[in-house]
Homo-oligomer: A and B are copies of this chain.
């Protein structure tokens, strides 16, 4: 027996949250206030059915909505919305073939207005932290959830077009428009690193955090804080601090947690990277 893409995606969710240290985020050693490690375990459990739908070829929007509704069946609030927004098209792209940038690009380019409606409906199931909509986009504010669906339909926007409108400012949406570039890059780091899955995912996290300012941090704390976090991650990443100075990374992690600065977008990218690395056999569990 081999693992199905939906099973691999669920395992990626579990390995992502378990990886430690992952500065600023929940991991197996760190809870945030009101958002605990076990909420993420339950979020991964609840996500499974939506991921199965994606694996069976259901439309991306409805599979995503189902995954988010299931994820929301726990007391911690939003745990893995962004991760699922990457995993659902990746699972579709991995079904019956090898997962590639071209394959997932084909999936997102095939999304429809109905997929966009499913995406908006997903916001009814959990509270997601997002920025203000761009000028003139108020009717399409995702925080309106299913109430915005008529406006989406009227304008005939596909889910890929909705994602494109969220760039810049949301690096999960950016993956949709850039062929999942950073997800595949994270998979490369995971595949090219030694150690346990936790150590390899933690290395990919630090590398991705060093690469671009985390957009969730920018939304919650401003661009300046996001850039400061990126610079500190870059210093540590350059010194391969996970090998040479694990305490420095642990201290960075504790500092971000105590300031409530959680780079959740970077965690989403690592989750997508774990999925790709597992699917390709570059990470074996």
A229 at the interface (CB under 8 A from B): no
Task: Assess whether A45 is in contact with B11, with CB atoms less than 8 Å apart.
Answer: yes
A interface residues, Cβ below 8 angstroms from B: 1-3, 7, 10-11, 14-15, 18, 28-29, 31, 36-39, 41-42, 44-46, 48, 69-70, 72-75, 196-198, 284-285
B75–A284 CB distance below 8 A:
yes
Q: What's the least CB distance linking A213 to chain B, in Å?
A: 30
Interface centre among A28, A29, A37, A41 (most CB of B within 10 A): A41
Bound complex: CA A45 to CA B195 (Å): 22
Contact yes or no, A3 B41, CB < 8 A: no
A10 proximity list for chain B (CB < 8 A): 45, 48
Give chain B residues whose Cβ lies under 8 Å from the Cβ of A41: 11, 14-15, 18, 285
Bound CA–CA A197/B37 (angstroms): 10
B75, A285: Cβ atoms under 8 Å?
A: yes
Q: Tell me if A7 and B45 are in contact (CB < 8 A).
A: yes
Chain B nearest Cβ from A45, distance in angstroms: 5
Copies in the complex: 2
| Known contacts A18-B28, A28-B18, A45-B7; is-contact A38 B1 (Cβ 8 Å) | no
Q: Which of chain B's residues has its CB closest to A125's CB?
A: B1
What separation, in Å, do the CA atoms of A69 and B1 have in the docked complex? 7
Whether A73 lies near B1 (C-beta < 8 A) is yes
Across the interface, do B198 and A38 meet the contact criterion of CB distance under 8 Å? Answer: yes
A199 to chain B, nearest CB (A): 11
Partner of A73, one of B3, B15, B28, B74: B3
- Report the 6 A-B pairs with minimum CB-CB distance, sorted nearest first: A28-B28, A14-B41, A42-B285, A11-B45, A38-B197, A10-B45
Known: A2-B73, A18-B38. A46 touches B7 (CB 8 A): yes
Since A1-B70, A11-B42, A14-B45 are in contact, a sample of 17 more A-B pairs with Cβ atoms closer than 8 Å, ordered by chain A residue number, is A1-B72, A3-B46, A7-B70, A7-B73, A10-B45, A14-B14, A14-B41, A18-B28, A18-B41, A28-B28, A28-B29, A31-B196, A38-B196, A41-B285, A42-B285, A48-B48, A75-B284
- Give every chain B residue within 8 A of A42 (Cβ-Cβ): 3, 11, 285
